[in-house]
Chains A and B, each alone.
Chain A
Amino acid sequence: MRSLWLMPGQGGQKARMLAEVDPELKAQVETWTGVKLLDTEEGYQDSQQIQLSILLLQVEQIDQLQQLGWQPDLVAGHSLGVFGAAYAAKVIGKEDVFKLVALRAKLMQDSCPAGYGMGVIVGLSRPAVKKLVEQVHADDNPVYLSNQNAEMQNTISGKITAIQSVLELAKENGAAKAKLLKVPNPSHSPLMAAAAKKLQEFLQTLTLQAPECIYLTNFNGHATRKLQDVAYDLGNNLIHPVYWETMMQVALEYEPTVSCEFSPGTAFTRLLKAKMDQLQTVTLETMSIDDADFLFNKWEKK
């Protein structure tokens, strides 16, 4: 069995998703970060609440699986998911990872002038979207090609006015879907440079270890076992596109037999299954740790 662990980012959060999380761990996170986790719809309007709560869900699931003796051969996190991925690969300790993400969320919030955000375009190739972005982008109306979620699904980040112009062009050029996302930041673009710089400074104060498995980087979609690549990804993925499609292509070239998607959501498993139907998949959003353990044991014997 060769396993690929997937950590989603923001988007799948919902009220009461922490209902079954160990209260002790939750309290500890609140102490470390000074943030009270509300786990309510209102609370999830706030970026720090979202980011810390998703990380908490993932860290608990990682701990439970690792206590049962399961380790990943490959880890991949999408955006915020890199922190869970780095934790699963034993690059960063528990307290540090929560402090780091608390700071990241705060920096993102603080760097958030009104009128910026992200859009998604489905049905056009990345080079096609790139051309449209280049047509619109200007210093006073910036827009960047950002995440590569799937071959024909890319996001753009920048000023809302510029995003809307690109979305219009995309529709004219035959995009199946082109819409604004409910994201208050121009994430994964050079517009996040100031936040990334401060995050880097904090990272330098932490003690990190080389990953114990293959880590797939957001910023260039490579597989790595080097600490410096992972550290760069944690500090700087905000200013780079997430090359998720490339990360998944590379992951599959390592011939994993099993994938495990951590909460929240199941979307990445669907994308992956479409590429490789023989892959055995577990989604912790819909399965208990016991179920996952049972299936891993079964597949391990094969």
Chain B
Amino acid sequence: MTEERNWHTHRDAKNARLASASSLLNGKFAKTEDVVKVLNTLIKPGDKVVLEGDNQKQASFLSEALTKVDPDQVHDLHMIMSSISRPEHLDIFDLGIASKMDFSFAGPQSTRVSQMIADGTMTVGDIHTYLELFGRLFIDLIPNVVLVAADKVDREGNLYTGFNTEETPTIVEAAAFHDGIVIVQANEVVDKLPRVDIPADWVDVVIPADKPYQLEPLFTRDPQAITELQILMGMMAIKGIYAKHKVQTLNHGVGFNTSAIELLLPTYGEQLGLKGKICRNWELNPTPTLIPAIESGWVESIHSFGGEVGMEKYIAARPDIFFVGKDGTMRSNRALGQVAGQYALDMFVGSTLQIDQWGNSSTVTNGRLSGFGGAPNMGSNPTGRRHSTPAWQSLKPDDDPLAKGQKLVVQMVETFGANKKPVFVDHLDAEEVRKEAKLANVPIMIYSEDTTHIVTEEGIAYLYKTDSMEERKAAIEAIAGVTPVGLRSDPKEVKKLREAGIVALPEDLGVRREDAKRSLLAAQTMDDLVEWSHGLYNPPAKFRSWS
């Protein structure tokens, strides 16, 4: 007879670890000052550890504590993080506590990430899109330990994560139902929660934090910084893309270009008679620049990946628009937001640092392995989808009875970026970065085949209409201005492309450059936004010009 297999080794291991930490725990609660001891005891060498950190919310108390564990006891951790945002996220590699990383975004730490990969301090599993990373938490990157952040916890260990729920439930679920250990830092311990976002059953250890978790107001754009060039591009996009394709459901990237569009809807959009016809349902963080459009009745609904500092009261007062609990505070969800962003939308509009001659784009530039945020999921065409919306159908070729529509993926860029560097280049820096960092794939953010439109201050290229790569290249050259790529453009070819509707210049769209004035923005200052919100929006200190 064969020996019977033990089918609950994970559970046994988890129980043994928790038992060894029992002297540090009172129920689920550990003392703030014992945090390093708790981590030293509960984390074992080689563990897969999710450390919560996205582009807004950071489990900063736990990440700082992780740098203080004893590398002789805790080493070779395999970190899984959607965003590498804080210095200590990399210090644990310098200290020998961690050795491998799977991640999505590393914008704020991208130079050190590049260096650590090059010198072997860090090995990279993959650079994922958000959904690949979240998905793999349930497949082959199932965590042993997760370190997450909550706003409030009650005496039983139920969690309130509120506006900034983001990816906390997804991370916790991956551990809680596969015998991983769930460790939570909490800003506050209370008797009664506003609502339960994550049940106590899923939580193993709660540690009150010494200070509230770090939270960045990442999606706040001051209207004062919007330029007339961006207003021109916004007008072109509204007329030549939003109206043309009757875009009703959409996501905007974080740039000033899309802020300009948000502020043009109640003015320019209204003049064009587009209200109610476009931009009704959004997957979007609560960007303050959308307040005027909401207040003027353009917006039906907004689901959000995360919160935005200062928008709390405004959101609470607009439950018809936002996803708000009975308690009056918003609930965000990054995983569901990304699903919606990839599958449920007519259009994604974003920006980038480089676009190559074929139309591939990337924010990975020389020496900076930034990874990507939501763009690769939202900026890709889910080919299995079968939408009936006017926008999706409008991209369907009419010469094939079995043809499918396509999601609109729009890149809005000025031909020269910060530092006067050309955005249009023959080859992405990402190609070199792949070699240097020995990556399996070139870190392209949005592939050419998924990009349907590019908007610059010169005009719009309708790439989805091109029949060949040669034509696609010519369309890109036509709107690439005086960059090396743009200088190759042939005026005769541009004329043909304009006639075919593959390229549109402002005059082809009936947009007059001289009309692109700041006075066209529904709000021109942060103060205007506060006024539009009836005093409900409370800008973070760094965006306030008054005190």
Give A contacts to B, CB under 8 Å.
123, 125-127, 151-152, 220-223, 246, 249-250, 253-255, 278
Contacts and interface: CB of A to CB of B under 8 A. Distances in A.
B498 interface: no
B109 A152 contact: no
Contact of A249 (B87, B119, B367): B367
B112 A253 contact: yes
B542 interface: yes
B115 A221 contact: yes
B420 interface: yes
A253 B367 contact: no
Given A152-B420, A152-B421, A246 B367 contact: yes
B368 A249 contact: yes
A222 B421 contact: no
Given A246-B367, A249-B367, A250-B112, A151 B87 contact: no
Contact of A127 (B87, B110, B366): B366
A246 to B, nearest CB: 6
A151 B368 CA distance: 12
Contact of B87 (A152, A220, A255, A278): A255
B115 A152 contact: no
Contacts of A126: 366
Interface of B is mostly: helix
B539 to A, nearest CB: 16
A224 B301 CA distance: 50
Nearest to A223: B112
A213 to B, nearest CB: 14
A126 B112 CA distance: 19
B428 to A, nearest CB: 12
Top-9 shortest CB links A-B: A249-B111, A254-B87, A253-B109, A250-B111, A253-B112, A151-B419, A222-B115, A152-B419, A250-B112
B509 to A, nearest CB: 31
7 contacts: A151-B419, A152-B421, A220-B115, A222-B115, A250-B111, A253-B110, A255-B87
A141 B297 CA distance: 70
A109 B432 CA distance: 38
Interface string B385-426: 000000000000000000000000000000000011100000
Contacts of A249: 111, 367-368
Interface residues of B, number: 19
A123 B119 CA distance: 30
A152 B111 CA distance: 17
Nearest to B422: A125
Nearest to B116: A222
Contacts of B112: 223, 250, 253
B169 interface: no
Nearest to B542: A278
Contacts of A250: 111-112, 115
Given A221-B111, A250-B115, 15 more contacts: A125-B366, A126-B366, A127-B366, A127-B432, A151-B421, A222-B115, A222-B119, A223-B112, A250-B112, A253-B90, A253-B108, A253-B109, A255-B86, A255-B87, A278-B542
Contacts of B432: 127
Nearest to A224: B94
B101 to A, nearest CB: 15
Contacts of A254: 87
A123, A152, A249, most chain B CB atoms within 10 A: A249
A85 to B, nearest CB: 19
Interface string B362-374: 0000111000000
A76 B115 CA distance: 17
Contacts of B90: 253
Contacts of B368: 249
A151 B115 CA distance: 17
Contacts of B111: 221, 246, 249-250, 253
A255 B91 CA distance: 13
A254 B94 CA distance: 13
A74 to B, nearest CB: 11
Nearest to A278: B542
Contacts of B421: 125, 151-152
Contacts of A255: 86-87
Nearest to A220: B115
B38 to A, nearest CB: 26
Contacts of A278: 542
A151 B367 CA distance: 11
Contacts of B86: 255
A126 B421 CA distance: 12
A151 B418 CA distance: 11
Contacts of B367: 246, 249
A127 B426 CA distance: 13
Contacts of B420: 123, 152
Contacts of A246: 111, 367
Nearest to A152: B419
Interface in B47-100: 86-87, 90
Contacts of A151: 419, 421
Interface string B2-36: 00000000000000000000000000000000000
